[in-house]
Amino acid sequence: MVLIGESIHIISKNVNDAVKNRDPKVIQDLARAQSTAGADYIDINLGPAKKDPEEMTKWLVETIQDVTDLPLSVDTLNPVAMEAGLKACKKRPLLNSSSGRTDSKERMLPLAKKYNTDVVISVLTDKGCPPDVDSRTESIMETVTIANDMGIPNEDIWVDPIILPVSADQKQVAEAGEFISILADLLPGVKSTIGLSNVSNGTPEQLRGILNRTYMVMLGRMGLYSAIADVLDEELVAINKGKMPEIVDLIYKTMDGEDIPLSSLDKQKQDYVKTTKVLMGKTLYSHAWLEM
């Protein structure tokens, strides 16, 4: 799976301060660390980028490109910042993201065409996040058609189904796999991506990793092409690189409904089985799901 490193995020206080003071150190350290850890792309999440969007984005892109050759995922809701970022990228970037929202279709999608980028298109619409597989399908079909009409081919489109936290909506977490598995039939050639860490948003910090890792494996099996993820999680990268096949196998078996006696497994493996069942919606989530 293609991993997009999520750590350069304006919500992080360190990053926010560094951007405000145009201090390259924190940013470059994060870029280097993620690149060493095994990221395929570096995400630059600028949020709404209200202040000096052009100058700030250009500075950030250049600051990061000074220390890594990886392609960038320019992640902002502000089309002005987006354009400045895409213009400054040396390698073919990922526009992250556009959606079915009117303003996004009008102002973001044309940038993907103009700068010949890959582009994330999420299922969000003017009404918010579609609540089930059918309405997600309806939304993405419509937006991709518009993108195709602009001359953006399916091969350049990375569909984002929008993942919700398991602590908030367990049912939708379980259904996301279904959406990903039908994508190839719906829109041949499209790729897919998710904001992986969102699945564990709201879960106690020390328990987030295993949710992220398990969900990555589950959705990977359904055909997920890439994830915006915490690449500084060594176990996550190791699993992604095929270094923990026994864990992957265990998750697959659990997904297939095999009854694996927990007592035959060590603690780490038990935790992966329990987590898979929670993410499948088979056991009700609680913060204490590993303690049962």
Partner 1 sequence: MEYKAPVETYTGKVAEVVIGKGDKAIKIGGESVLPFHFFEGTIQNPPKLALEIWDIDPAGWAEWVREPYKDVLADPVAWAKKCLDYGADLICVRLASTDPAGDNAPADKAAAAVKTVVGSIKAPVIVYGSGDETKDIAVLTKVAEVCSGEKLLLGPVVKENFEPISKAALDHGHSIIAQTPLDINLEKELNVKLLKSFPPDRIVIDPLSSGLGYGMEYSFTIMERTKHIGVMFGDSTMQMPIIADLGGESWKTKQAKENKEQGILWESIAAISLLLAGANVLVLRHPDSCQYMKEAIEGKL
CB of 176 to partner 1, least distance (A): 19
Print the binding letters for residues 272-291 with partner 1: x by CB under 8 A, - otherwise.
-----------xxxxxxx-x
Print the binding letters for residues 113-152 with partner 1: x by CB under 8 A, - otherwise.
----------------------------------------
Phi-psi region of 162 (alpha: psi -120 to 50; beta: other; left: phi over 0): left
Counting contacts by CB under 8 A, is residue 167 touching partner 1?
A: yes
CB of 147 to partner 1, least distance (A): 38
* Count of residues near partner 1 by CB under 8 A: 10
Between 11 and 284, whose beta carbon lies closer to partner 1?
284
Amino acid identity at 102: T
Place of tokens 């996040």: 129
Between 150 and 168, whose beta carbon lies closer to partner 1?
168
Between 179 and 289, whose beta carbon lies closer to partner 1?
289
Amino acid identity at 237: V
Using DSSP, state whether 281 is helix, strand or coil: coil
One DSSP character per residue, 144-159 reads HHHHHHTT--GGGEEE
CB of 206 to partner 1, least distance (A): 15
Using DSSP, state whether 289 is helix, strand or coil: helix
CB of 290 to partner 1, least distance (A): 10
Counting contacts by CB under 8 A, is residue 257 touching partner 1?
A: no
User: Residue 192 CA to chain centroid, in angstroms?
Assistant: 9
Counting contacts by CB under 8 A, is residue 171 touching partner 1?
A: no
CB of 267 to partner 1, least distance (A): 16
Distance CA 143, CA 119 (A): 12
Counting contacts by CB under 8 A, is residue 270 touching partner 1?
A: no
Between 272 and 285, whose beta carbon lies closer to partner 1?
285
Between 170 and 226, whose beta carbon lies closer to partner 1?
170
Counting contacts by CB under 8 A, is residue 201 touching partner 1?
A: no
CB of 287 to partner 1, least distance (A): 5
The Cα angle at residue 226 between residues 67 and 77, in degrees rounded to 5? 70
Distance CA 233, CA 209 (A): 7
Distance CA 60, CA 127 (A): 32
CB of 164 to partner 1, least distance (A): 13
Spell out a b/e string for 103-129, using b for 16 or more CB atoms within 10 Å of the CB, else e: ebbebbbbbbeebebbbbbbbbbeeeb
Question: In this structure, are strands 94-98 and 72-76 parallel, antiparallel, or unpaired?
Answer: parallel
Q: Please give the residue ranges that form the binding site for partner 1 (CB under 8 A).
A: 167, 283-289, 291-292
